Structure 1
Amino acid sequence: MATKCTRQLLSDVNSCDLPDFIKKLVNKICDFYDEQDYIDVTFKLSNPIAMIPAHRLILSAASPYFNDLFKSEHGLAPVIELNDIDSDTFERLMTFCYTGKTLITIENVDLMLKAAMVLQLCDAVLSCVDYILEHITEYTLKRAYDLERETQCIQLYEKLLKYEIENFIEVSQSAEFLNFSTEKLQAIIEADNLNVSCEQDAFRAIKRWYEYDASARQKELPVLIDCLRLTQLDVCFLMENVQTLPGCEVLALRALSWIGFPSARSKVSLKFSAARENVCNKPVLLAVQVSENLSFRGRSTGVVTNIFQYDKAEDEWHKYADIGTSDWKHYGLELFDNSLMFIGGTCGGIEVNTVKSWSFTTKTWITLPPMVWPRSFPVVLSLNKSIYAIGGEYAASVEMYSPVSGWRCVSNMSSQRYSAGAVVHDGKIFIMGGWDGRSSLKSVERYDPSLNSWTKCADMNAVRRCPAVAVHNGCIYVLGGGSEIVERYDPQSNKWTKICSLSVSCNAMACVSMDDQLWAIGGNTTNSVSVYNAERDEWIEKKKLPAPVGGSYFCYVVPKMLLKN
């Protein structure tokens, strides 16, 4: 049998606030099923052949499929043969009829979903769909889309749509995105809660989708562009990018009129004239500075972590918070689930596997499960609702953390490295540079979580230790790390190109893409901030951070709502 005892699945029923009579009743019914007492129907299934007993009353209450079956002439027989479902899957769903739970795995979830749809077990369908989305990294988006197309499961479509809206940037860079139907993409772009840092993100995604098959999609392009909040794009962007698209000239002119002539807005016809309703989509740039607090004799008195917030309207930086981490340092840092995750590092000179998070919501620290291995100077980043801790001093190993399953090791890199740079692009992790214990590196590797494997990519032009890395307009930019050279990597051609150098080059810088601009922030010898102008291939200096010079920097684009608490 798929489940030897249904009682083991009833912990929630027995622990919840239900009358004792109901708990006893449910437990007794499960006893009848396990002991095969009062059985009044048996199902014969194949693959492999099995005889599975059950109670008509329970199954009729659980599913309209069984209710209709037992009222039919075919359903009156003591033994009913079913040919469309394998015996193991059917028995697991029988368990679900009695307990509301069953064992779902990556391997069986497709069959479970299909069978649950046939048997009209709506709650089981939802359990399968929830399992797929909770394990989407292992399951993969491609497999989910294939299953949705095959089954036409409405619940899976709706959950995927929600996932696509919440993880739009990541999804829009995937290969599957290029095959979305016009109707599907329109439903995503229209969403008021679309998770983009700015409207340009949504525009670039539409353009990428369109250019994949321009001749066939030209008619649909204006429909999708009309779903954008065009009034949130600036005049130059509208003229240079929207107005030049086939069939979008009138839409661009309407948006330009709405922006340029406020008094005439009532006469301008636009599908969406206001910004997206969810305030949380408005992006805010944060810079995190980690530095040692030195006494007047130059001795370290602890590590200080300052968080600075950039005010775009004022073109000023303001201190948002000051959080101390005592003598804990050399950790990896990442923004995850509305918190800053501090991972690994050293404490008192000893390498640790400690993991803590500082919540923006509660302004408090939480200790999380430790890593499998201690790591100092690891690379830390998030992908598909999981955290990856990569490398560390004299380490090539990699671990992955999810709130559901904790930490587990995945495939090692081809070589050890620490103080490296890394970024997520198109659902894959790119790691570059760092130190292998002997020398600085210029090598680059790519990790594919769906294959759990690393692939070597083209080397950078310069060796780098503690470089800053960011994805910007479909390419990967690398700067600092001991070199004045700034490089741009095209994943499609696997080639690096040198661009304009920064006036200040140092280690431990940070860079990030926001508002269609590439920002370079701080470093171990500066507190300067620069923005890259691609048209003129030059860096423009912005307001400096109001922080002491030095330290290590991390930067993030966060929703404005996150900082309101």
Structure 2
Amino acid sequence: MTSSIELSTQQSISFAIKNFAQLIQSPEFLHYTPEILQQILTSDELNIDCEVDVFEALMRWYQYDKENRKKQLSMLIPALRLGQFDDAFITKYIKPLLNDEPNNTDNRLITDCLTARNERQCKLMVLNDVKKLKYILRYNMSDKKWQKCFDFKFIDYSYALFQHNNCLLFVGGRSRRFQRNNTVKRLDLQTLEWQEMAQMSQRRDDLCAVLLREQIYAFGGHDGGDPFNTAEMYDVQSNQWQLLPSMTKHRYGAGAIVYQDKIYIFGGLSIDCEPLNSVECYDPILNTWSSCCNMHGARGWPGVAILDGLIYVIGGYNEGMLNTVECYDPQLNTWRKISPLNVARFGISAIVVDKRICAVGGHDVYTVEEYDSVNDKWIERAPLPAYGIYSCVEVPNYIVNKLQSQYSVKINKNINRKFRK
């Protein structure tokens, strides 16, 4: 028969597993017994995105009473998903923790838990700016902020970015010598090897594009002259492009998003750099375009996100940076204005985090703002660690584990001392 104490302990463990990302910042976490902590850390359902965060939480617990807890590490470290770490991370940060113990062998670092916990998609932000060094940021659930996860050297910018089969696809854009691209460049996130795929029919800078099922749809853009109204579709499986019916407007720097298998295009700049307030919708099944209700204001390079069946168009550019925000109801084909941003900017990456819209970055800013729909206001959150225009992708967490652990070694970050009192 289960005692009330045992039941209470199991309930506490279940609560800790479900709320691990928040709990590891609390004083309560520092006072767990080794036995309780082991049960928490071994759970497949541990609510955390990145295994490095689990290791850092363990280090925080260990540093709180280092002298007495040193001997417990040989029991707790194998509870980590060690197969998710880069080998260099294990050599640099984990093995030294066990080196002082008698009869130490690497067998304690062998685990059957090679797969990620409760596999999930993690949000990554990839710098899409003129800078040659491209940072990848990830959202840290426990700190509730974006942190550097990886970096790589890449000269292109102003591209459309997608994740497919654990690879990043960079579509169009331009190089540092202002050469416009018609290329699709593929970066394998597991091997970090590059490959060039089939080319578009036109060089497209400042294009807008979406991924729908296994196909990338690219719209508008320019090649240094007047903007295009053309559109084309890339089939990822066959590595082939095909032309689509043209948009009703010539535009570059527009926003685009998929809603209920239809593609909506918002604003952008037209001929003579005139900002647009027009909206149009492409139906891939019927292969036709239709016009939608115009926005209240014209804007180029807006952020676009969907929450609860509504499309939010955020910030942008119109003879200067905008802080205005509008909300579109696709069912009613109507717009309404909502509270403006605190910081005007264009090139925002608009995404949904924890069921709230976030306006991340933008031209020359570190700013992150979160929309409180109940009170209709924007709240500034922890700023980005590197400023600029970003593109967002979602990546399986086992990919993030490898990237983050590789990056931690690369920057020579002494994680073992991070949570020292």
What range describes the TM-score normalised by the shorter chain of this pair?
Answer: 0.5 to 0.7
Tell me which residue corresponds to 1:314: 143
2:128–2:159 CA contact under 8 A, matched in 1: no
Partner of 2:276: 441
Which structure has more RCO (C-alpha within 8 Å, separation ≥ 6)?
2
Please say if residues 357 and 365 of structure 1, whose CA atoms lie closer than 8 Å, have aligned partners that are also in contact: yes
The answer to whether the aligner puts 1:510 opposite 2:349 as a matched pair is: yes
| Pair 1:563 & 2:400 matched | yes
| 2:370 aligned residue | 531
Going from structure 1 to structure 2, the CA distance change for 1:359 and 1:446 (only over 3 Å counts) comes to same
Q: 2:123 aligns with which of 285, 293, 298?
A: 285
d(CA) in 2 for partners of 1:351, 1:318: 31
2:380 maps to which residue?
A: 541
Classify 1:427/1:324 alpha carbon distance in 2 versus 1 (closer, same or farther; 3 Å).
Answer: same
Contact 2:209–2:219 (CA under 8 A) maintained in structure 1: yes
- Deviation per residue, 1:381-410 (Å, 9 max, x gap): 100211111111111111111133311111
3-state SS in 1 of match to 2:347: coil
**Unaligned residue ranges in structure 1 (runs of 5+):** 1-229, 235-272, 294-302
Question: Is the 2:135–2:148 Cα contact (8 Å) retained in structure 1?
Answer: yes
Q: Distance in 1 between matches of 2:281 and 2:244?
A: 14
1:402 aligned onto 2:241 = no
Cα separation, 2, equivalents of 1:419 and 1:541: 25
Deviates more, 1:333-342 or 1:452-461: 333-342
Q: Following TM superposition, by how much is the alpha carbon of 1:306 offset from its aligned partner in structure 2, in angstroms?
A: 1.3
Cα 1:331–1:556 change in 2 (3 A) is closer
1:344-390, Cα deviation, whole Å (9 max, x unpaired): 12333332211102222222222111112211111121002111111
Amino acid of the structure 2 residue aligned with 1:368: M
- The answer on whether the counterparts of 1:280 and 1:562 sit within 8 Å (CA) in structure 2 is no
Instruction: Say yes or no: does 1:338 pair with 2:166.
Output: yes
Q: Partner of 1:374 in structure 2?
A: 203
User: What does 1:6-405 correspond to in 2, within 5 Å?
Assistant: 279=117, 281-293=119-131, 303-326=132-155, 328-347=156-175, 348-393=177-222, 394-405=227-238
Equivalent residue number for residue 303 of structure 2: 468
- Per the alignment, in what secondary structure is the counterpart of residue 563 of structure 1? helix
Corresponding residue of 1:415: 249
d(CA) in 2 for partners of 1:278 and 1:309? Answer: 17
Secondary structure at 1:485 match in 2: strand
Is the Cα contact below 8 Å between 2:116 and 2:397 reproduced in 1? no
- For 1:281 and 1:496, how far apart are their aligned partners in 2? 37
Q: CA deviation at 1:232?
A: 9.7
Superimposed CA distance per residue, residues 15-67 of structure 1 (whole angstroms, 9 cap, x where no aligned partner)? xxxxxxxxxxxxxxxxxxxxxxxxxxxxxxxxxxxxxxxxxxxxxxxxxxxxx
2:18–2:46: 8 Å Cα contact kept in structure 1? no
Q: Tell me the SS of whatever aligns to 1:564.
A: helix
Letter in 1 for 2:262: K
Distance 1:358 1:473, change over 3 A: same
Fraction of identical pairs, as percent = 34
Distance 1:368 1:353 in 2: 10
Q: CA deviation at 1:468?
A: 0.5
Q: SS of 1:351's equivalent?
A: coil
Q: Which runs of 5+ in 2 are unaligned?
A: 1-14, 20-43, 48-114, 403-421
Contact 2:221 2:228 in 1 (8 A): yes
Partner amino acid, structure 2, of 1:408: Q
Distance in 1 (CA, whole Å) between partners of 2:119 and 2:267 is 33
Letter in 2 for 1:289: L
Q: Check 1:446–1:275 CA distance in 2 against 1; reply closer, same or farther (3 A cut).
A: farther
Change (3 A) 1:412 1:280: farther
Aligned to 1:107: none
- C-alpha separation in 2, matches of 1:396 and 1:231: 53
Q: Indicate how the Cα distance of structure 1 residues 279 and 453 shifts in structure 2: closer, same or farther if over 3 A, else same.
A: farther
Which has the larger share of helix?
1
